[in-house]
C-alpha cells in the first residue's frame, strides 16, 4: 500500500462544486492503490466530504476564509507530516493557485492541465497545452509530485457526492498548522455580489454569441432565448474585444470553462481557443451561416442560417407552444 494521495478540496465557505468529484476521479485514476485523503482547509464545522477515504480538516484562525498564501503554507505543512505519494486537485483558479504555492515553498515541480498521469520515477504525464490544441508528453521528477488535472478532463464519478455538513465523520482528522503572523495577508477581505441565481458556469443551458451577432444590440434575442430556457448568456473573445459584452461572459481559453447540458453557439466559428471553453458541454447546437465552420462540423446539431432570423423564430416558437398548453 502506497502512501495516501492528498486531494486539495476547493471550497468557498464550505460550498464545493463538481470539480471536487473530478479531483477524486483524477486521484483514483493516477494512484488506484493509494488511500484518498481529502484536505479541507478552514471552517469551524467538521466537513463530511464523501468520495474520500479519510479527511484532513486543517484549522487555524488565519484560514477561515480563502487566503492563497496561508492555504499554501498549511497544505505544505500537512504534506510534510503525511508524506503523501502526491498532492492533486482539479485545475480551478484556487486549485492551481494553492498547489503553485505548495510547489514554490517545497521547490518542487508542479504540473498543471494534466490529462493523463502514470506514477513512477519519474512520473510520465500528458498535459494539454496551447489551450488544448497540442498535447505535451513530459516527465515529472519530484520527491513530492504535485499535479492538477485540466477541468473536465476526468469525468466525475456520480456515486460520490461532496458536501460539507455538521455531521461527525469517523474518518476526519484535524491538523493545526503553525503560520507566520503575516500568512493571512492575502486573505479575502470583502465580496461584491454581481450575479444571483443562474450563472454562466452552473447554467444547464448556455446561449452564446460570436462575431456573427454583429453588435451589442444583437444580443437582445440571445438574452431572450437564454431567459426562456433558464440559461445564461456567453460569448466568444471577439465579442468582449469589441466591447459588446462584459469579459465575465467570455467562454474560452482566456475566459470561463463551461460544461452545460446544452451549448447553443450562435455565429461562433469555433476556433480552438473558444472550443476548449465549452467542449465539455453534453450537447452542442450550432447556428451559423457557414456550414463549413468548425463549430458546425463539430456540433451535435446545426442550423444553417442567419442567427438574426433563426433565434427570434425559435423564441416565437417556444412562446407559441407554451401559450398553447
Chosen residue from 44, 190, 217, 292 binding another protein by CB under 8 A? 190
Chosen residue from 64, 97, 227, 290 binding another protein by CB under 8 A? 97
Do 19 and 157 touch, CB atoms closer than 8 A?
Answer: no
Please state the φ and ψ torsions of residue 9, each to the nearest 5 degrees. Answer: -95, 115
Name the residue nearer to another protein (CB basis): 25 or 286: 286
CA nearest to 261, candidates 275, 231, 282: 282
Q: Is the dihedral of CA 291, 294, 297, 302 positive or negative?
A: negative
Q: Which stretch binds another protein (CB under 8 A): 49-57, 109-117, 154-162, 214-222?
A: 109-117
Do 153 and 114 touch, CB atoms closer than 8 A?
Answer: yes
Do 266 and 209 touch, CB atoms closer than 8 A?
Answer: yes
Based on the shown chain and the rule CB under 8 A, indicate whether residue 281 belongs to the binding site for another protein.
no
Question: 217-276: which residues touch another protein (CB under 8 A)?
Answer: 228-230, 237, 240-241, 243, 246-248, 250, 253-255, 261-262, 271-273
Whether the upstream peptide bond of residue 159 has omega within 30° of 0, thus cis, is no
DSSP 49: B
Name the residue nearer to another protein (CB basis): 168 or 193: 193
Question: 22-51: which residues touch another protein (CB under 8 A)?
Answer: none
Based on the shown chain and the rule CB under 8 A, indicate whether residue 116 belongs to the binding site for another protein.
no
The CB density around residue 230, as the number of other CB atoms within 10 Å, is 11
Q: Are strands 134-140 and 123-129 parallel, antiparallel or unpaired?
A: antiparallel
d(CA 35, CA 20): 16
Q: Which stretch binds another protein (CB under 8 A): 18-26, 48-56, 162-170, 179-187?
A: 179-187
Based on the shown chain and the rule CB under 8 A, indicate whether residue 195 belongs to the binding site for another protein.
yes
Please state the φ and ψ torsions of residue 303, each to the nearest 5 degrees. Answer: -120, 125
Q: Which stretch binds another protein (CB under 8 A): 43-51, 52-60, 155-163, 282-290?
A: 282-290
Question: 121-150: which residues touch another protein (CB under 8 A)?
Answer: 122, 126-142, 148
Chosen residue from 1, 61, 107, 323 binding another protein by CB under 8 A? 107
Q: Which stretch binds another protein (CB under 8 A): 54-62, 156-164, 214-222, 310-318?
A: 310-318
Based on the shown chain and the rule CB under 8 A, indicate whether residue 120 belongs to the binding site for another protein.
no
Based on the shown chain and the rule CB under 8 A, indicate whether residue 64 belongs to the binding site for another protein.
no
Tell me, by CB under 8 A, how many residues bind another protein: 99
How far from the centroid of its chain's Cα atoms is residue 210's Cα?
22
Q: Ramachandran region of residue 88, left (φ > 0), alpha (ψ -120 to 50) or beta?
A: beta
For residue 119, the minimal CB distance to another protein (Å) is 14
Q: At what angle do helices 68-82 and 93-106 cross, to 10 degrees?
A: 60
Do 60 and 77 touch, CB atoms closer than 8 A?
Answer: no
For residue 285, the minimal CB distance to another protein (Å) is 7
Name the residue nearer to another protein (CB basis): 174 or 306: 306
Amino acid at each position: 500500500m502506497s502512501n495516501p494521495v492528498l486531494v486539495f478540496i476547493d471550497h468557498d465557505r464550505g460550498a464545493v462544486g463538481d470539480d471536487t468529484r473530478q479531483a477524486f476521479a483524477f486521484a483514483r485514476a493516477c494512484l488506484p492503490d493509494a488511500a484518498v485523503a481529502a484536505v479541507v482547509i478552514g471552517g469551524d464545522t467538521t466537513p463530511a466530504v464523501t468520495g474520500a477515504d479519510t479527511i484532513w480538516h486543517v484549522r487555524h484562525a488565519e484560514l477561515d476564509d480563502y487566503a492563497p498564501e496561508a492555504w499554501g503554507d498549511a497544505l505544505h505543512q500537512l504534506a510534510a507530516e503525511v508524506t503523501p505519494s502526491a498532492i492533486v486537485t482539479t485545475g480551478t483558479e484556487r486549485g492551481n493557485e494553492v498547489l503553485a504555492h505548495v510547489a514554490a515553498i517545497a521547490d518542487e515541480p508542479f504540473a498543471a492541465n494534466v490529462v493523463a498521469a502514470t506514477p513512477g520515477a519519474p512520473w510520465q504525464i500528458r498535459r494539454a497545452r496551447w489551450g488544448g490544441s497540442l498535447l505535451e508528453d513530459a516527465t515529472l521528477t519530484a520527491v513530492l509530485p504535485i499535479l492538477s488535472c485540466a477541468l473536465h478532463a476526468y469525468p466525475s464519478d456520480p456515486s460520490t457526492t461532496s458536501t460539507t455538513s455538521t455531521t461527525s465523520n469517523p474518518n476526519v482528522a484535524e491538523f493545526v498548522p503553525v503560520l507566520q503572523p503575516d500568512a493571512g495577508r492575502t486573505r479575502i477581505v470583502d465580496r461584491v455580489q454581481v450575479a444571483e441565481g443562474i450563472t454562466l458556469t452552473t447554467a444547464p443551458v448556455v446561449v452564446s454569441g460570436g462575431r456573427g451577432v454583429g453588435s451589442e444590440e444583437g444580443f437582445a434575442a440571445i438574452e431572450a432565448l437564454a431567459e426562456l430556457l433558464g440559461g445564461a448568456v456567453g460569448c466568444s473573445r471577439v465579442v468582449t474585444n469589441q466591447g459588446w459584452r462584459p469579459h465575465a461572459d467570455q467562454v474560452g481559453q482566456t475566459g470561463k470553462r463551461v460544461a452545460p447540458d446544452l451549448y447553443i453557439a450562435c455565429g461562433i466559428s469555433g476556433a480552438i481557443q473558444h472550443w476548449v471553453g465549452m467542449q465539455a458541454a453534453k450537447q452542442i447546437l450550432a447556428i451559423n451561416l457557414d456550414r463549413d465552420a468548425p463549430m458546425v462540423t463539430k456540433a451535435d446539431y446545426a442550423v444553417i442560417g442567419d442567427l438574426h432570423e433563426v433565434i427570434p423564430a425559435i423564441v416565437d416558437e417556444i412562446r407559441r407552444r407554451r401559450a398553447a398548453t
